[in-house]
Amino acid sequence: MAGSQKDEPLFDRVAIIGIGLIGSSIARAVRENSLARHIAIADASEAHRAQAQEFGLGESVHGDAAEAVRDADLVMLCVPLGANAAVAGHISAALKKGAIVSDVGSCKQAVIRDVAPHLPAGVHLVPGHPVAGTEHSGPKAGFAALFRNRWCILTPEAGTDATAVEKMKAFWGAFGSKVELMEPRHHDLVLAITSHVPHLIAYNIVGTADDLEAVTESEVIKYSAGGFRDFTRIAASDPTMWRDVFLNNKEAVLEMLGRFTEDLIALQRSIRWGEGEELFNLFTRTRTIRRAIIDAGQETAAPDFGRQSPDQGAEITDPAKPKAG
Amino acid sequence: MAGSQKDEPLFDRVAIIGIGLIGSSIARAVRENSLARHIAIADASEAHRAQAQEFGLGESVHGDAAEAVRDADLVMLCVPLGANAAVAGHISAALKKGAIVSDVGSCKQAVIRDVAPHLPAGVHLVPGHPVAGTEHSGPKAGFAALFRNRWCILTPEAGTDATAVEKMKAFWGAFGSKVELMEPRHHDLVLAITSHVPHLIAYNIVGTADDLEAVTESEVIKYSAGGFRDFTRIAASDPTMWRDVFLNNKEAVLEMLGRFTEDLIALQRSIRWGEGEELFNLFTRTRTIRRAIIDAGQETAAPDFGRQSPDQGAEITDPAKPKAG
């Protein structure tokens, strides 16, 4: 930021609308990096607002988003995608001229479609998507380091105020993220394969296993260490957020899902006809991708994700038997 | 073991055929728990034998499996499923009367089909499957605690010598495993959904992502933290082992895969027609399964598997750019 003082925070007032996992992580990271003089938090949930107060996540906590955004230089929308249009419409008149409106949604075309029409002239829309998260939800689940060593994708439309874009780059950079600019449409395609379809098939296999008659739920649980339990992590992600992702990135998800199913049917055929070489070749090729992800600093090299060892974990119990006590 | 001395090891000589991840973990656990006076190791790979010597995994290391099993009270087959028939035929004449032959294979009907016909009278077959593992392979990857807090499934046929079955229960119990007896056919069905199909769809999505034209490999790698990277772990498992699993549990895998695909197509239809409630209900139901797996001591409650934090990990790099230096 040419011309700004060394000790000057990046923003005077940052409003965070929605204080779940991502919103509360941003609040903590803004505080830790002294990026704002005032953090104003808004959330429709009274329980969330109480927690935001309890954890001291902001200087002010509001039930009405319009109050939070008044005089804000940066407004971060951290609500499920399906709530963006209503929130944008509601805060519209309270937005300060020159303010930046940004977000953290997993689909960028939908955000532009839902938010842009509500913004008055002189307010800059810089949509963003930090590719980071955990399967936990709510203000308590957030932590400032969530974005460290992760990518954040910004998808401003051509002609967006360059200073606003630079400020958002600096904002995410301060959290330890690397920032990339991308076309909204391309973003939605990339995330369909790296995030949306993986979540869908994880949700799906957990549902399939839950529906079986020949295998009991207790058996699924006991023998989940054979691979299944890995899928249950992302299948435990926030249901509202993920419903909205699939409803708002339909085209790209259906395209990638079609390819996934096509490949799976071919694999199924190889199993039926005993084509061992086909299987072996695929299984060898996939190993190299993981190596590349580890080399890029996006994954741990430790076996089994460096998962907490059973020694430190809970005692093994048989889910078929009622608990003692 | 009624009548045995307190300090008497469970077996005099244990032969381990195949010293990969599972075989070498067993060797280490046998040593740590003083379950045998002599551990005899056999492996067809010279490199594996050299590592077994280097790490002191056994008292003797053999290129010929028949030499290892001579005088052994327990023979553990720890080779890929496709090698069982040849190994069993080769060691047959060298087996001691009264010896137990067991294994660690992921499909139990195939093991009985391939091994039983080769065993002389008076040798007891007690097939077994420890539901444990990591994505790493080879003698170096093994560790004694691998089986702790995990289930081991034994699938002896009706009429198997009861003392032999009890000894195998004690063997796995000493490693910290809980032991369950199961019909081989039911085992293969349970593992198809808890292990085999999860591996197949993980391999498949990594393959699909690798084949895209519109999304670069570098983009897949960079944004893998959105969910994709979870799948790459099990898609990095040993290709030979997994080829053999799919070729040897065809019936159950095709049955479970059929259900998975059917459910996925229904989900795809819900996305196309914007049926948000269907999606939300499934996504809510799957959360409870993870909770049950955590409560059963089969998974960590820590967010993101308690994955190594980016702070301790490698520096973030852009896979599209060549490395410095």
Residues of chain B found within 8 Å of residue A284, distances taken between Cβ atoms: 239
CA-nearest residue to A131 within chain B is B226
Q: What percent of chain B has pLDDT over 70?
A: 94
Q: What is the pLDDT of residue B311?
A: 47
**Is the separation of the CB atoms in A212 and A48 below 8 Å?**
no
Q: How confident is the model at residue B2 (pLDDT cuts 50, 70, 90)?
A: very low
* B104 Cα to chain A: minimum distance (Å): 13
Q: What is the pLDDT of residue A307?
A: 86
Ordered mean pLDDT values, 10 residues apiece, chain A (325 residues):
64 98 98 98 98 98 98 98 98 98 98 98 98 95 96 97 98 97 98 98 97 94 94 95 98 98 98 98 95 92 81 63 53
Q: Do A194 and B257 touch (CB under 8 A)?
A: no
**CA–CA dist A299, A316 (Å, integer):** 28
**CA–CA dist A245, A267 (Å, integer):** 28
* B315 Cα to chain A: minimum distance (Å): 6
Q: Do A135 and B290 touch (CB under 8 A)?
A: yes
Q: What tokens were used for B241?
A: 């082992």
The pLDDT of residue B324 is above 50: no
Q: Do A308 and B306 touch (CB under 8 A)?
A: yes
**Is the separation of the CB atoms in B57 and B116 below 8 Å?**
no
Judged by average pLDDT, the poorest of B187-191, B274-278, B280-284, B311-315 is B311-315
Q: What is the pLDDT of residue B318?
A: 79
* A208 Cα to chain B: minimum distance (Å): 6
pLDDT tens for each residue of B227-239:
999 999 999 999 9
Strand partners, A15: A40, A75
Bigger pLDDT: B297 vs B280: B280
CA-nearest residue to B239 within chain A is A283
Give the list of residues 6+ apart from residue B264 with CB closer than 8 angstroms, or none: A200, A201, A204, A257, A261
pLDDT tens for each residue of B98-140:
999 999 999 999 999 999 999 999 999 999 999 999 999 999 9
Q: DSSP E strands: which ranges in chain A?
A: 11-17, 36-42, 60-62, 74-77, 100-103, 124-125, 128-130, 151-154, 178-181
Give the list of residues 6+ apart from residue B255 with CB closer than 8 angstroms, or none: B189, B192
Task: Give the three-state DSSP class for A178.
Answer: strand
* B49 Cα to chain A: minimum distance (Å): 23
User: Which of A282, A307, A319 shows the shortest C-beta gap to B203?
Assistant: A282
**Is the separation of the CB atoms in B215 and A191 below 8 Å?**
no
Domains of chain A in sequence order: 12-182 (3.40.50.720), 187-300 (1.10.3660.10)
User: Which of B204, B271, B289 shows the shortest C-beta gap to A206?
Assistant: B289
Q: Do β-strands A128-130 and A151-154 pair in parallel, antiparallel, or remain unpaired?
A: antiparallel
Q: Do A242 and B283 touch (CB under 8 A)?
A: yes
Q: What is the pLDDT of residue B315?
A: 65
pLDDT tens for each residue of B41-76:
999 999 999 999 999 999 999 999 999 999 999 999
Q: Do B284 and A239 touch (CB under 8 A)?
A: yes
Measured in degrees and rounded to the nearest 5, phi and psi for residue A236 equal -105, 10
- Total Cβ atoms within 10 A of residue A3: 5
Q: What tokens were used for A184?
A: 């909204």
**CA–CA dist A54, A27 (Å, integer):** 13
User: Which of A217, A223, A286 shows the shortest C-beta gap to B131?
Assistant: A223
Q: Do A229 and B299 touch (CB under 8 A)?
A: yes
* B301 Cα to chain A: minimum distance (Å): 8
**Is the separation of the CB atoms in A179 and A172 below 8 Å?**
yes
Distance, C-alpha A176 to centroid of its chain: 16
**Count of pairs with CB atoms under 8 A, one residue in A, one in B:** 428
CA-nearest residue to A141 within chain B is B303
**CA–CA dist A105, B311 (Å, integer):** 25
Residues of chain A found within 8 Å of residue B297, distances taken between Cβ atoms: 310, 313-317
Q: What is the pLDDT of residue B312?
A: 45
To test the contact with chain A by mutation, choose from B187, B193, B308 the residue with the greatest count of A C-beta atoms within 10 A, namely B193
* A291 Cα to chain B: minimum distance (Å): 9
Q: What is the pLDDT of residue A315?
A: 64
Q: Do B149 and A235 touch (CB under 8 A)?
A: no
Measure CA of the first residue to CA of the last residue in chain B; give whole Å. 62
Residues of chain A found within 8 Å of residue B151, distances taken between Cβ atoms: 222-223, 225, 316
Q: Do A217 and B265 touch (CB under 8 A)?
A: no
What ipTM describes this predicted complex? 0.92
Measured in degrees and rounded to the nearest 5, phi and psi for residue B180 equal -130, 140
Give the list of residues 6+ apart from residue A284 with CB closer than 8 angstroms, or none: B239
Q: What is the pLDDT of residue B6?
A: 57
**CA–CA dist A302, A69 (Å, integer):** 44
Strand partners, B102: B76, B126
Q: What is the pLDDT of residue A110?
A: 98
